[in-house]
Amino acid sequence: MKDLLINKIKNREASIGVVGLGYVGLPLVLRYLDADFSVVGFDIDEEKNKALQSGKSYINHIDAEGILEKYKQKKFYATSDFSCIKDVDAIVICLPTPLSKHREPDLSYIVNSADVIISHMRPGQVLSLESTTYPGTTDEVLVPKLQSAGYTIGEDTFLVYSPEREDPGNPKYNTRTIPKICGGTTSSCLEVGVTLYNVVIDQVVPVSSTQVAEFVKILENTYRAVNIALVNELKVLTDRMGLDIFEIIKAASTKPFGFSPFYPGPGLGGHCLPIDPFYLTWKAKEFEFNTRFIELAGEVNSSMPDYVVQKVGLALNSHEKSIKSSHILILGIAYKKNVDDTRESPAVVLIDKLSELGANVQYSDPYVPDFPKLRKYHFDMKSVALTHENVQKFDCVLIVTDHDKFDWQLIEKSAKLIVDTRGVLKYNNKNIFLA
């Protein structure tokens, strides 16, 4: 079965099933379609399925126009009917793995979907998990489920873990050019998995096990989270010293070795950095190990919105105003520049905190016209158009996300008071505060 499946993949005769058509799954669908594979997209959200089959994308930076032609050619369709799993040769799971309110892994999306998927599987398929999770998930969750269903992994079914490495809005790297880590439950599984990704990714990096592959992704994001926490902490220190942290980082970056620049901000956002390191923290407890760096980084990064609120209060105070009853415009509610992804965005936390203190908060974001429904928050808001007249109405403009589409000259000219968390503006204006 292994050789038959490998040959089907190499000859573009295999059909690919992608479960979860979000920020990870949709780019993968497009990549396999570009490589002339037949693809079935699985998502419980029928609105997404209908949009894709009409050639529309619900993610700003992803162009899905070509999907309509593939749909007409019967190369692609999207469905919520998981019985169609039996019709594909490869199943790739791209589902979210959030944290519970107690910072424990919530694998419900994976567990519930795996039960449905496996109930419709047949011999001769490969199952790949891409969701970021703690080391051991594939072996501890998926292996027993496949074995209970009567499969012999490595013989009549193949199981791999290959973590997603998407970076939304990054023009330099895309799904094809970002190297792909792949670990298999057995050597045969690894061989099938590497083949599955080799046909659409420029470089596939095989590792010795699924646990190693799982740990790789956690390491990548923990590395970033810890270093961002370091510069966030130093931002608070330099503020007290009257120094510009962005100038310091820029100068330090001229060193051609031994230094990698990370930049401070109002807190961590996105589905990865605020969440993934705590999957490792949770797993470490099983081995009676305390991940002190991760915990400390989490404390620093999660405290940044409070620091920003404090800076807003001080800035308003310099204009003889308080946060209560002030009109505050937040620029950017996406978690990073030039994307429409608001998951875990610190801007949302800031809206909540400032509103609780009595501020009248609105936002402007060219990528998010209406405030989305999030797991923890929802505000009845629409993006404010950035005109001179509109900006002038606010007591304070708070820069949270530095989208390139923002007219910074207009903002600096029109705003009465600006608090900048991204180091976008020059600080030769007494009405501009660095936070």
Report the C-alpha gap between 64 and 57 in whole angstroms: 5
Query: Is residue 38 packed enough to be buried (19+ CB in 10 Å), middle (13-18) or exposed (0-12)?
Result: buried
Query: Is residue 256 packed enough to be buried (19+ CB in 10 Å), middle (13-18) or exposed (0-12)?
Result: exposed
Q: Which two tokens stand for residue 229?
A: 């926490």
Q: Single out the residue of 340, 339, 270, 335 nearest to residue 96, CA to CA.
A: 270
- Given 94, 182, 189, 272, which residue is catalytic? 272
**Contact partners, residue 58, CB within 8 Å, separation at least 6:** 47, 48, 51
Look at residue 260 and give its three-state secondary structure: coil
Q: Mark whether 272 is an active-site residue.
A: yes
Q: Are 132 and 150 in contact (CB under 8 A)?
A: no
Helix (H) or strand (E) holding 42: strand 38-42
Q: Single out the residue of 121, 117, 118, 194 nearest to residue 162, CA to CA.
A: 194
**Contact partners, residue 299, CB within 8 Å, separation at least 6:** none
User: What amino acid is encoded at 200 in this protein?
Assistant: V
How many Cβ atoms are within 10 Å of 426's Cβ, its own excluded?
11
Name the H helices within 171-209. Answer: 187-198
Q: How far is CA 29 from the centre of its chain?
A: 17
User: What amino acid is encoded at 143 in this protein?
Assistant: V
How many Cβ atoms are within 10 Å of 401's Cβ, its own excluded?
29
Residue with tokens 């001179």: 388
Q: Which residues pair with 76 in a beta bridge?
A: 39
Q: How far is CA 181 from the centre of its chain?
A: 18
Report the C-alpha gap between 424 and 365 in whole angstroms: 16
Residue with tokens 């992803």: 62
Catalogue the active-site residues. 272
